[in-house]
Structure 1
Amino acid sequence: MPTIGRPSLRVLLDALAAGTGPAPEEVLVVDDRPAPGAPLPLPESADGTVRVLRSDGRGPAAARNAGWRAASTAWVVFLDDDVVPAPDWRERLAADLASAPPDAAGSQGRLTVPLPDGRRPTDWERGTAGLERSSWITADMAYRRDVLCATGGFDERFHRAYREDAELALRIMAEGHRILDGTRAVTHPVRPAGFWASVKAQAGNADDVLMWRLHGPGWRERAGEGRGRLRGHLVTTGSGLAFLAGAVPLAAGRGAVKGTAARAAAVAAGAGGAAWTLLTAGFAAARIPPGPRTPGEVARMAVTSAAIPPSAVWHRLRGLALHRGVPPWTPQRAVLFDRDDTLIRDVPYNGDPERVEPMPGARRALDRLRGRGLRVGVVSNQSGVAKGRITESDVERVNARVEELLGPFDVWEICPHDSGDGCACRKPRPGLIERAAARLGAEPAECAVIGDIGGDVEAAAAAGARGILVPTARTRLEEIGRAREVAPDLDTAVDLLLGGRRPW
């Protein structure tokens, strides 16, 4: 349960504790406030049954990742801190998970948004009620933990509670898993909202750009989403800009703008202003009738209908700039390893095959990957060749011994240069990874790289691959701090790729 300390957290925990059916093995609450504040509103009965973690204000995606990575159960259930489980929620959850077939990666709970009696719902209330029709929302979602490990969990580039749950579901289903509808139910009360809530919500347009970058132009259809209003907002905003483009020179010129220029400015102002007025009025007219039509709600709809289009367009442009370099998501097809101190113990400038000693768990980790159909390779800096300490033939003999001990590799890529040679292949440059991926017929984004120093994961990032650091005695603390994913050993690194035990 990610939370920023809202009072609704206590209501959720009380309802969960009072329910019938098997109790959860552990309740993990992730405090996502940027800095520790007042104590979280935990019930007194939560002592010993609730564990609180911190995610330092990095957003709900990061908070959920912190939660499931700290769990150890086969299934992990996500709840928002403002839902209320039904009294039989625990009982039905147990039945949902027990009946899930092996190819089911997730189970979605049913969500109800209670609306007011005796009046029409406000625009904000209608928007919240739309959650009832949403797919894969983490207001109540259970996932197998090994699937979360295999996919890496939620994408933490989604900093708001918006799209991060659908994005994960699209990746999971693209890997051939199913997400089922469960029988359990929660209610989602409508939270109070400020006057500008609908305008602030337009920040989601930047997240939509990230979805488009990751999953292509058809992501809305696969996610069960409609087209949205962005095209209309673009036209409305363009009309407003046309009005300003004509009106500002006329007002600023005070008679200096004459002749053809004045007529063009007047036409732009008149046409743009008329179009903007009609489009904005039409937008407001579509939003007002379904609501309560009180003076306050009508005023809110009128003002925000004018503010929403430019806000939506601005956030769309912001998203295009922010996510311009994001490559499309692709499933991983290959795992590339550093050689020395990752697969075998590092013997500086070793040219003697008899001195090759596998790292603990190396053969087991490689065989697990091979057993799942992933191709494996090695990308290794060997500057001893450039220094004259060893020959390329020595490197080949050592590599042949590595294969005798650890099994066959699908590709070897070696950089024989020294740090001052200016080559494109020496890590942390991406050349080795790019060449290995090309020889495997894969894109770098379809590869993962496992190594023991910062240069390994930096090369992975430069190539667009996933990087996992497995530290050794020579790994610097700052390298560990910079790495996005860190594992204590090769087995756990493979767990992060395939699923299994908790990451470090």
Structure 2
Amino acid sequence: MRHDDYTLVIPTVGRESLHRLLIALRESMGPQPPEVVVVDDRPRPGDDLPLPDDPPVRVLRSGGRGPAAARNVGWRASRTRWVCFLDDDVLPDRDWISALCLDLKAADACGAAGSQAVLEVPTPRRPSDDQRRTARLATAQWITADMAYRRDMLVAAGGFDERFPRAYREDSDLALRIVSAGGTILRGERRCTHPVAPATWRSSVRAQIGNRDNALMRRKHGRRWRTRIGEGPGRMPAHAATTAAGAVALLAGLLGRRATARRAAALWLLCTIEFAARRWLSGPRNVREALGLSASSVLIPPVAVAHRLAGEWTFRRARPEPPLAVLLDRDDTLIVDRPYLNDPAGVRPTHDAAKALTRLRRRGLLLAVVTNQSGVARGLISAGQLAAVNDRVDEVLGPFDSWQVCVHGASDGCGCRKPRPGLILGAAEALGVPARRCVMIGDTGADVRAALAAGAAAVLVPTDRTLPAEVEHARAHARVAATLNDAVSLVLSECR
């Protein structure tokens, strides 16, 4: 492998540790990274990121949508064979860059899809509850605090699932999908140190929100998902029993059934003591830890159960592979069609285009315009006029992540003109997503047939000029919506 065939992607929320990480990379032995992409995931970036003068970095923004979305923004902007993800709070060893190059060379030699670093978490001999939670990162089967993937494998898998909004389970989900598809992830030799973040007794209670993500893992990967990612069974059954006992005790007391209330309360107390004792015996065993564990051991079971139930409800209809990108026809879908439009002043959005695009962008979907413009081949408009009109569309309704334009005539025999699949496949490649995770929205049968030929989904939004036969074909093989907004609602219903 060439030493310059990888990109470093670092998602960040602006922590000071980012500066320390970049300094460590600068001082690491070996050739400097060919490209470092820092993805700013602050919802409203204010102050500049703590970046040193060297190494040079490219800063992108992901709008506060979480680390999964930030990593997707970063790797999709790369064009190298390998992409290495680093968390902004890790500290690589002095020889990390040299070791990374050797790890990637070894992975290339055996056709591996990824390379996992060795993660070290410094903890005392008797770590606290929060320290133990962080220390589990060192033994996790897959963790993107320091993980490299081949870019083509990221494309095939569709990247990180952005329905995981926290730094939890999104890495295991991606790795499990890649391994299930036949890929292998090697354990490399490079090393990073992951610090233990400051915590209070409430931290372990707040961490229970991860049970929502566990619900999505179960929905996507089945009941045995924990075994498949190398974890034990978890404590949800015990938390459910504890919570049920407490609820029965409270309800029986309110109804005056004292004997039942006493038995249920005794069971709740026994479960709570067992949970607290298990945590206590593994920790530093001091008074401060005892007080914190006592309070959190009471709160964790009901909070964990509540989050799990919320996750089960939220993802009750979740699809394993939701759409990642929406491809839109230009004329009569985004803008009012004026035959062979050659003047940017004539660009007029359709009545619901702006609202529809806002909804798609808010969900984080990638957007591309795919359009046939045979007026260039016929000499009715020039390439410059077409570019000016498209620039105006992008100015009014954009920005779009990709433009795919066919300027050939029907008799030219090209592979890009719809209904052939070239524009759809080109958009998918430019966006870094599999064609099967794209949805085409247009107003003609050519839009639908092009999408189906490429393996994408399609929604037809008929106009007065759409042929009845095209509508019937779309009803049978794709979907039909009355308006662009209705089409977007169909797409978003599959993104849950």
TM-score by length of 2: 0.70
Matched with 1:315 is 307
Q: 1:324 to 1:190 in 2, by over 3 A?
A: same
Matched with 1:112 is 120
Q: 1:464 to 1:318 in 2, by over 3 A?
A: closer
Matched with 2:221 is 215
Matched with 1:271 is 263
Q: Does 1:33 align with 2:42?
A: yes
Aligned counterpart in structure 2 of residue 103 of structure 1, from 106, 111, 125: 111
**Residue correspondence of structure 1 range 186-225 to structure 2 within 5 A:** 186-225=192-231
Which runs of no fewer than 5 residues in structure 1 stay unpaired? 250-261, 348-353, 383-394, 438-443, 467-504
Q: State the Cα distance separating 1:11 from its structure 2 match.
A: 1.6
Matched with 1:461 is 491
Q: State the Cα distance separating 1:267 from its structure 2 match.
A: 2.0
Matched with 1:146 is 152
Matched with 2:477 is 436
Q: State the Cα distance separating 1:331 from its structure 2 match.
A: 12
**Residue correspondence of structure 1 range 145-164 to structure 2 within 5 A:** 145-164=151-170
Matched with 2:297 is 305
Amino acid at match of 1:145: R
- Bigger drift between 143-152 and 125-134 goes to 143-152
Q: State the Cα distance separating 1:344 from its structure 2 match.
A: 5.3
In the alignment, the residues of structure 2 paired with residue 127 and residue 20 of structure 1 have an alpha-carbon distance, to the nearest angstrom, of 31
Q: State the Cα distance separating 1:221 from its structure 2 match.
A: 1.7
Q: State the Cα distance separating 1:417 from its structure 2 match.
A: 7.8
- Per-residue CA deviations over 1:242-266 (Å, capped at 9, x if unaligned) read 11102234xxxxxxxxxxxx4xx11
Matched with 1:88 is 95
In the alignment, the residues of structure 2 paired with residue 417 and residue 45 of structure 1 have an alpha-carbon distance, to the nearest angstrom, of 54
- Per-residue CA deviations over 1:17-65 (Å, capped at 9, x if unaligned) read 101012111111111111123332222434xx12222212111111111
Amino acid at match of 1:30: V
- Per-residue CA deviations over 1:228-248 (Å, capped at 9, x if unaligned) read 000000000000001110223
In the alignment, the residues of structure 2 paired with residue 244 and residue 407 of structure 1 have an alpha-carbon distance, to the nearest angstrom, of 57
Q: 1:12 to 1:433 in 2, by over 3 A?
A: farther
User: Secondary structure at 1:71's aligned position in 2?
Assistant: coil
Matched with 2:389 is none
Q: Percent identity?
A: 46
Amino acid at match of 1:67: G
In the alignment, the residues of structure 2 paired with residue 241 and residue 326 of structure 1 have an alpha-carbon distance, to the nearest angstrom, of 30
Q: Does 1:57 align with 2:39?
A: no
In the alignment, the residues of structure 2 paired with residue 156 and residue 411 of structure 1 have an alpha-carbon distance, to the nearest angstrom, of 20
Q: State the Cα distance separating 1:103 from its structure 2 match.
A: 3.3
In the alignment, the residues of structure 2 paired with residue 27 and residue 411 of structure 1 have an alpha-carbon distance, to the nearest angstrom, of 33
In the alignment, the residues of structure 1 paired with residue 462 and residue 452 of structure 2 have an alpha-carbon distance, to the nearest angstrom, of 27
Q: State the Cα distance separating 1:72 from its structure 2 match.
A: 2.2
Q: Does 1:171 align with 2:177?
A: yes
Does the Cα contact within 8 Å between 1:339 and 1:379 map onto a contact in 2?
Answer: no
In the alignment, the residues of structure 2 paired with residue 367 and residue 419 of structure 1 have an alpha-carbon distance, to the nearest angstrom, of 25
Does the Cα contact within 8 Å between 1:162 and 1:204 map onto a contact in 2?
Answer: yes
Q: 1:240 to 1:173 in 2, by over 3 A?
A: same
Q: 1:316 to 1:124 in 2, by over 3 A?
A: same
**Residue correspondence of structure 1 range 220-369 to structure 2 within 5 A:** 220-249=226-255, 262=256, 265-329=257-321, 361-362=416-417, 365=422
Q: State the Cα distance separating 1:70 from its structure 2 match.
A: 1.8
Amino acid at match of 2:14: G
User: Secondary structure at 1:95's aligned position in 2?
Assistant: helix
In the alignment, the residues of structure 2 paired with residue 300 and residue 53 of structure 1 have an alpha-carbon distance, to the nearest angstrom, of 40
How many residue pairs end up in the alignment?
400
Matched with 1:72 is 79
Does the Cα contact within 8 Å between 1:379 and 1:432 map onto a contact in 2?
Answer: no
In the alignment, the residues of structure 1 paired with residue 197 and residue 452 of structure 2 have an alpha-carbon distance, to the nearest angstrom, of 58
- Per-residue CA deviations over 1:391-445 (Å, capped at 9, x if unaligned) read xxxx9xx99xx99xx9989999998987799x9x95xxxx9668437xxxxxx9x
Q: 1:11 to 1:408 in 2, by over 3 A?
A: closer
Q: State the Cα distance separating 1:224 from its structure 2 match.
A: 1.3
Does the Cα contact within 8 Å between 1:89 and 1:185 map onto a contact in 2?
Answer: yes
In the alignment, the residues of structure 2 paired with residue 5 and residue 221 of structure 1 have an alpha-carbon distance, to the nearest angstrom, of 35
Q: State the Cα distance separating 1:139 from its structure 2 match.
A: 0.4
User: Secondary structure at 2:69's aligned position in 1?
Assistant: helix
Q: 1:267 to 1:329 in 2, by over 3 A?
A: farther
User: Secondary structure at 1:104's aligned position in 2?
Assistant: coil
Q: State the Cα distance separating 1:323 from its structure 2 match.
A: 1.1
Q: 1:278 to 1:374 in 2, by over 3 A?
A: closer
